[in-house]
Amino acid sequence: MAPGDELTGRSGSPTQGPRGDQSSRGLPPPGVQPFADAQPPNPGLDPVAGRRHGLPQGFFARLHEKIELGLFAPSPIAPLVYFRIIFGAIALWEVTLHFKYGWIQAYYVVPEFFFTYVGLPWIQPWSGNLMYVHFLALGILAVFIILGLWYRVSTTLFFVGFTYVFLIDQANYLNHFYLFAWVSFLLILTPAHRSASLDVMRRPELRAATVPAWHRWLLCAIVGIPYFFGGVAKINGDWLRGEPARIWMTEWTHFPVVGSFFAQPWAPYVFSYSGILFDLFVVPLLIWRRTRVLAVLMVIAFNLANANLFSIGLFPWFMLLATPIFFDPRRLEPILRFERLFGDPVPTKAALETPDRHKPVVMALLAVFAAFHILMPLRHHLYPGDVKWTEEGMYFSWHMLVRAKAGRLAIVATDSVSGESWVIDQRRYLTRRQQTKMVRSPNMIVLFAHYLGEELREEGHQNVEIHAVAELSLNGRPLQRMIDPTIDLTQVNRSVLHKPWILHLETPLPGR
């Protein structure tokens, strides 16, 4: 440093450097950080930058630290074991019902045509009786999941096998099938076999008393998502006006005790608004200890009502039985002592931890998971029109029981050269269930039109066009045409883009 040069400290006051002081030895004066330790500007750490937008000093750093601690803190494994067992039991129940009621034959063997998903036309059912073998294998895998036997292989095979069945035919779409597919995938990642399992009996070194908390939070998320976005889907004009609850309640007046309630003119509003509030807030109420008892009573009442009023399969029973996953695992652990059944006393010091080098990857994947499950249910806002009418963005969005949609559909084939037209007998090609589901779905109608066009061309009708005359009622509205009848549907491309040939919903709800 030349004579007369000055080194300015952080306070802004000049600091002289006479011989023998710190500056003359190449050391910074008090309050000045060495250049080797200097850090680049960081809004989360810098005391000045961190105050931007009114955020306190170190806000982002502390938030990141709290999230990391919450995700990777040790958590008792008992809730995961419980969840594994109840999921396996519900899955086994579902498979049993398919055999009992002949659904395998009706849904996967009898039909000649299947409404495949966009990009997945190659997913077709096994030929002959192999679908029975497939469901038998799913049942065996469900038992293995309950027992925790060859757990990673069992959950992986169950996920692949169940998702395959789910994707065969849109006519068989159910929200709880979509949920089961996701849960079975997440169980692959969840070490729910490290206690109270046959795997631990075979390999005692797998035993663990605790696991990183993110495993439980992931299962909490997949159970809570249907509740929350089911509530979001209900925030629409029809639901807030008491539709379609008013339509449903006309069919429930025969119930003992509660039947008189359903006959009241104000009942649809109570049903609708309480449904929104329950769906939106039940998960926070379950997590918060002070409101947990009330929330559990609400969950019991809500799911028992759904099970008795609607035909929605095992969905309410799974949601009801999965509720303890939201409870404090430390309070739940003394109750859920499944290891006694397996002769597996869990050592208190055995803990499964996430290595530090894996933590950023885990957090990034959890962020991707969260983004997907937030954006997918909201994607229908990218399309014009009412999703309940157009069905664009309806699947995988938790739009559960938000519409009453019915009407009539005629499929008309026309020879473009001779001008001859005739109405197609849909019973020749589709099962009754497929016909019923196709009526309300423009996408399924297009799929059938493409298939029908190919069939008729093979029969010698080379210049055939397929048109649809679809008249539907949505939530009590008068019938309105849903599809432009002048469009040759065989020329419409299958895609996830907006379908301009779907007519806008114009008829208002009847006055009340």
Categorize the per-residue pLDDT at 344 as very low, low, confident or very high, splitting at 50, 70 and 90. low
Residues paired with 467 in a beta bridge: 412
Please check whether residue 139 is in contact with residue 96, taking contact to mean a CB–CB distance below 8 angstroms.
yes
Q: How far apart, in whole angstroms, are the C-alpha atoms of residue 480 and residue 505?
A: 8
pLDDT mean over 103-124: 95
pLDDT in tens, 363-389: 999 999 999 999 999 999 999 999 999
In this prediction, residues 484-499 reach a mean pLDDT of 93
| Neighbouring residues of 326: CB distance < 8 A, sequence distance ≥ 6 | 220, 223, 224, 283, 286, 287, 292
pLDDT of residue 3: 39
* CB atoms near residue 113 (< 10 Å): 16
Q: What is the CA radius of gyration of the chain?
A: 30
Tokens read off for 163? 């998702």
User: Please, which contacts does 244-247 make with residues 24 or more away whose CB atoms are closer than 8 Å?
Assistant: 244/402, 244/403, 244/404, 244/475, 244/476, 245/271, 245/272, 245/275, 246/476, 246/512, 247/404, 247/475, 247/476
Question: Picking from 184-188, 241-245, 340-344, which range would have the lowest pLDDT averaged per residue?
Answer: 340-344
| Enclosing H/E stretch for 14 | strand 14-15
The Cα 276–Cα 223 span in angstroms is: 17
Q: What six digits make up the tokens of 205?
A: 């070194």
Instruction: Supply the DSSP string of 393-446, one letter for each residue.
Output: T-TTTT--S---EEEEEEEEEEETTT--EEE--GGGTS-HHHHHHHHT-HHHHH
Q: What are the tokens at 367?
A: 């962020």
Question: CA nearest 247: which of 440, 389, 385, 402?
Answer: 402
User: Looking at residue 512, what is its pLDDT?
Assistant: 56
The ranges assigned to domains in the chain are 72-380, 405-512
**Per-residue pLDDT at 340:** 63
Q: What is the DSSP string of 51-100?
A: GGGGPPTTHHHHHHHHHHHHHHSEEESHHHHHHHHHHHHHHHHHHHHHHH
Element (H, E) at 237: helix 237-240
Predicted confidence at residue 61, as pLDDT, reads 81
Between CA 389 and CA 7 the distance in angstroms is: 72
Query: Which residue, 202, 211, 203, is CA-closest to 78?
Result: 211
Across the range 123-143, mean pLDDT stands at 96
505 vs 440: CA distance, rounded Å: 13
Which own/partner pairs from 447-452 qualify as long-range (CB within 8 Å, at least 24 positions apart)?
447/115, 447/116, 447/170, 447/494, 448/113, 448/115, 448/411, 449/411, 449/489, 449/490, 449/492, 450/489, 450/490, 450/494, 451/113, 452/411, 452/413, 452/424
349: confidence class by pLDDT, cuts 50, 70, 90: low
pLDDT of residue 17: 42
Is the per-residue pLDDT at 26 higher than 50?
A: no
Alpha helix positions (H), 241-289: 245-249, 259-262, 267-287
Can you give the pLDDT at residue 13? 39
Strand, helix or coil at 386? coil
Whole-angstrom Cα distance, residue 379 to residue 392? 9
DSSP string, 310-330: S--TTHHHHHHHTGGGGS-HH
Q: What is the pLDDT of residues 64-79, one digit of tens each?
A: 788 888 899 999 999 9
Closest CA to 118 of 488, 497, 501: 497
Average the pLDDT over each of 10-19, 171-180, 212-221, 386-395 and give the range with the smallest value.
10-19
**480 in helix, strand or coil?**
strand
Task: Give the separation between CA 46 and CA 410, rounded to whole angstroms.
Answer: 68
Give the residue-averaged pLDDT of 411-434. 94
Token representation of residue 421: 């037209």
pLDDT at 25: 42
The tokens describing 3, both together, are 């004579």
Q: How far apart are CA 358 and CA 401, in angstroms?
A: 41
Please state, in angstroms and rounded to a whole number, the distance separating the CA atoms of residues 291 and 221.
19
